[in-house]
Amino acid sequence: MTAHRVAFLVFDGMKLLDVSGPAEVFAEANRLGARYALHYASPSGDPVVTSIGTRLSAHSAAADLLDIETLVVPGGDPLVTEPIPPALTGAVRQLHPHAHRLVSICTGSFVLAAAGLLSGHRATTHWRHAQLLARAYPDVDVEPDSLYVEDRGIFTSAGVTAGIDLALSLVEHDHGADLARDVARSLVMFMQRPGGQSQFSAPLTLSAPRTPALRAATELVSAQPALEHSTDTLAVLVGVSPRHLTRLFNTELGTTPSKFVERIRMEHAKALLDAGHNVAQSARAAGFGSPETLRRIFVARLGISPSQYRARFATTHSDTPTHSPRPEGRPHGPSCGAADAVSVDH
């Protein structure tokens, strides 16, 4: 069997765990029968200094790579606080035609976007920077509610632990679910979470609205998603005009009332499916009205059907112990590291 070449494009300031996490998944897969050849390249071929100050040697310059099955671009705090080095975007543009799969971890999506490779694509990144990615690159369809997203051979993931989930997913794609499950068990971790699983529940990802009327509307929808929540109905309940309510949603939350309602209902439906309810029960209780409506929205937003989502979680739960409860509040800390530790593990 020919080795599957995985190249990591490393650079100064990158998050070390964005590389070492996925790399350990591929290395453990090798121990269990896979054949991944791991290669580390920097734009110049020089060693790089990671976010924790360690020095990492590069096997080669990016220009020396020719045939790559999987190219991985890690993230790093400088990617969202400083201009992205042209040498880094240039290396990605140069390597992309030679790679069968293009992968970014956390804020590595900013490198792909700056290189023009995410234009017209669905993508995700760390929750802390999803709005920035959407504003900076309006031609990218940013999905802040996903752990990882695949769109036409380009894979983007949220923070570092989501990168490990994505690596497990790639191993499963290459070698099947049994080997991926063995890798997860060997590394003493949960089987990978489906890419459509939220980084956080929808209410946790939203700042509390400043305006009392908008706060009342969002709290009502979050508390009772199955009720009638048209813009007109919500406006009457909170005592403002429909136009003013729409303006408040756009100004403070960057969305429309209908999209907010759909997002909350989607979150509620996923929680019901996680808890073992069937698709019809989940659709009705979440306010979608019919299983077909829920299926259509699931496929559009997550790329899988509700039944597929439920089956993935059922498989995962059968092999793992009881997991920790959903976090009660948003975390604080590094953008691509500790913050991910509180996302819901399945």
All structural domains of the chain with their residue ranges: 4-186, 203-318
pLDDT more than 90, % of the chain: 61
Q: Are strands 48-49 and 55-56 parallel, antiparallel or unpaired?
A: antiparallel
Average pLDDT over residues 96-120: 97
- CATH code of 4-186, in short, is 3.40.50.880
Average pLDDT over residues 138-161: 89
Band (pLDDT 50/70/90 cuts) for residue 193 is low
Q: Do domains 4-186 and 203-318 have the same CATH topology?
A: no
Residue 282 has pLDDT above 80, yes or no: yes
Residue 313 has pLDDT above 80, yes or no: no
pLDDT more than 70, % of the chain: 84
Can you give the pLDDT at residue 304? Answer: 81
pLDDT: is 147 or 214 the higher one? 214
Alpha carbons 212 and 151: distance in angstroms, whole number: 39
Alpha carbons 191 and 263: distance in angstroms, whole number: 26
Can you give the pLDDT at residue 329? Answer: 33
Can you give the pLDDT at residue 219? Answer: 86
Can you give the pLDDT at residue 192? Answer: 46
Q: What is the pTM of this model?
A: 0.63
Q: In the predicted model, what is the mean pLDDT of the chain?
A: 84
Homologous superfamily of domain range 203-318? Homeodomain-like (1.10.10.60)
Average pLDDT over residues 147-155: 93
Report which listed range, 91-105, 131-145, 222-236, 308-322, is most confident: 91-105
Do the beta carbons of residue 114 and residue 108 sit within 8 Å?
no
DSSP annotation string for 220-287: HHHH-TTS---HHHHHHHHTS-HHHHHHHIIIIISS-HHHHHHHHHHHHHHHHHHTT--HHHHHHHHT
Can you give the pLDDT at residue 312? Answer: 65
Residue 327 has pLDDT above 80, yes or no: no
Go through the chain and tell me how many residues it has: 346
